[in-house]
């Protein structure tokens, strides 16, 4: 078993309130957490297994970091009330006692299992980041019966998908048998499909060139050759990993398949732009790229005006608000991107917490990290400071 610095990421079957088996199951959960010596846990608060694990962690004086996939009212409808309204006060008690509350996305449920999968990946990444800070092990605790049916039609969501995803990363799962719990759940009517849109989870990159507005007509051709030309070459170097690219003026927008590749793209861009011609640097002020990275579920479709491919959605808009608060020559990424990068296990990067930053245009404050190559001076990643848990 892991030492006292083990950090738990949890998952569990949803089940009905009032099951006779619940007392014995709660005892098995408490025994498992005690054996692990864990005092921090990350996960959602669905009815059944999730709430039992959260309650056990709170009773033993540990910290629970709640990770919800989308807007709270929608989560209550989809994942709490389906097991009976008796779960609601227990949900609220856990939420109010939580050390932090994270929303993978702040928007509504759009009938997409990718939203659950994305939240699961965020919880896993946050647990891995915290375990690294404590020099411990991130361990998955799952209340899981392999013979039980899955309620996910896509296979992307649910405890079976969660345990499979964790074990693909080469990490350890401690399984607790649920026993004969009732799983006759009553879900709300299924939402209609969102037109003909497809959804996928991808890395998103936005960049712009500070100092562009100070350039005159004589400098613009030089800018296009020496800045945007280098940008295009970097994207070419990464081939099909760059699934989409667009630019207007000095701005760059790209969709990249994997967080590790997106991190390399961002750092390569800054490296390639480190020696700009003097003609592109204003006499007063600074010039250079600012790059923001995020990771989330987005729509893939066709631009109805240009007829070109298009990736769009709320998480794209959020990424566009990161680069304005990023220093020139730097790369900032969201906590979600940092978590996904940590899960991929590439040791070539250094993540340094820069705290919460207020994003422009009413996008609120988010926890951001500075991304650098590992050869850069390392600053320890601090504990999460996402949305503080509400008190009511």
Cα 288 to Cα 279: distance, rounded to the nearest angstrom: 12
CA-CA distances (angstroms) from residue 348 to 31, 55, 388? 38, 38, 31
- Residue 74: both structure tokens together: 């929608």
The confidence score (pLDDT) of residue 193 equals 62
Look at residue 292 and tell me whether its pLDDT is greater than 90: yes
pTM above the 0.85 mark? no
Least confident of 44-53, 176-185, 278-287: 278-287
CA-CA distances (angstroms) from residue 105 to 118, 183, 317? 9, 28, 12
Kindly state the percentage of the chain with pLDDT values over 90. 60
Look at residue 196 and tell me whether its pLDDT is greater than 70: no
- Residue 158: both structure tokens together: 């649910």
Residue 370 vs residue 227, higher pLDDT? 370
Look at residue 382 and tell me whether its pLDDT is greater than 60: no
Residue 42, helix vs strand vs coil? strand
C-beta neighbour count of 307 within 10 angstroms: 8
Q: Which residues contact 367 (CB under 8 A, 6 or more apart)?
A: 334, 335, 353, 355, 356, 384, 385, 386
The confidence score (pLDDT) of residue 232 equals 95
Q: What is the DSSP letter of 380?
A: P
- Residue 50: both structure tokens together: 């999730």
What CATH number was assigned to the domain covering residues 7-176? 3.40.50.450
Q: What is the DSSP letter of 4?
A: T
CATH class of 198-373: alpha beta
Look at residue 284 and tell me whether its pLDDT is greater than 80: no
In the chain, where are the structural domains located? Answer: 7-176, 198-373
Cα 99 to Cα 65: distance, rounded to the nearest angstrom: 6
């Amino acid at each position: 078993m892991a030492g006292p610095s083990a950090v738990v990421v949890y998952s569990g079957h949803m089940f009905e309130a009032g099951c006779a088996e619940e007392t014995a199951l709660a005892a098995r959960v408490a025994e498992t957490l005690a054996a692990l010596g864990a005092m921090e846990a990350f996960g959602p608060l669905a009815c059944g297994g999730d709430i039992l694990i959260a309650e056990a962690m709170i009773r033993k004086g540990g910290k629970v970091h709640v990770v919800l996939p989308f807007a709270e009212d929608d989560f209550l409808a989809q994942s709490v009330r389906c097991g009976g309204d008796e779960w609601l006060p227990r949900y609220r008690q856990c939420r109010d006692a939580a050390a932090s509350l994270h929303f993978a996305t702040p928007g509504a449920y759009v009938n997409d299992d990718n939203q659950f999968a994305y939240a699961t990946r965020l919880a896993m990444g946050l647990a891995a980041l915290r375990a690294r800070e404590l020099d411990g092990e991130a361990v998955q605790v799952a209340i899981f019966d392999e013979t039980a049916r899955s309620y996910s039609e896509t296979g992307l969501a649910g405890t079976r998908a969660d345990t499979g995803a964790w074990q693909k990363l080469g990490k350890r799962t401690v399984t607790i048998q649920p026993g004969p719990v009732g799983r006759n759940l009553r879900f709300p009517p299924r939402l209609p499909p969102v037109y003909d849109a497809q959804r996928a989870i991808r890395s998103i990159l936005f960049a712009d060139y500070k100092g562009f507005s100070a350039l005159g007509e004589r400098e613009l051709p030089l800018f296009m050759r020496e800045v945007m030309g280098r940008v295009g070459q970097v994207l070419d170097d990464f081939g099909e990993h760059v699934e989409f690219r667009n630019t207007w003026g000095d701005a760059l927008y790209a969709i990249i398949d994997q967080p590790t590749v997106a991190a390399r793209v961002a750092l390569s861009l800054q490296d390639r732009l480190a020696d700009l011609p003097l003609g592109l640097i204003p006499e007063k002020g600074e010039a250079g790229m600012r790059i923001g990275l995020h990771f989330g579920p987005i729509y893939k479709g066709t631009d109805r005006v240009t007829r070109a491919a298009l990736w769009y959605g709320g998480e794209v808009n959020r990424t566009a608000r990161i680069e304005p608060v990023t220093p020139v020559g730097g790369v900032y990424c969201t906590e979600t991107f940092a978590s996904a990068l940590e899960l991929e296990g590439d040791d070539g990067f250094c993540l340094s917490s820069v705290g919460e930053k207020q994003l422009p245009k009413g996008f609120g404050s988010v926890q951001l990290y500075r991304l650098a190559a590992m050869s850069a001076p390392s600053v320890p990643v601090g504990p999460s400071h996402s949305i503080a848990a509400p008190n009511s």
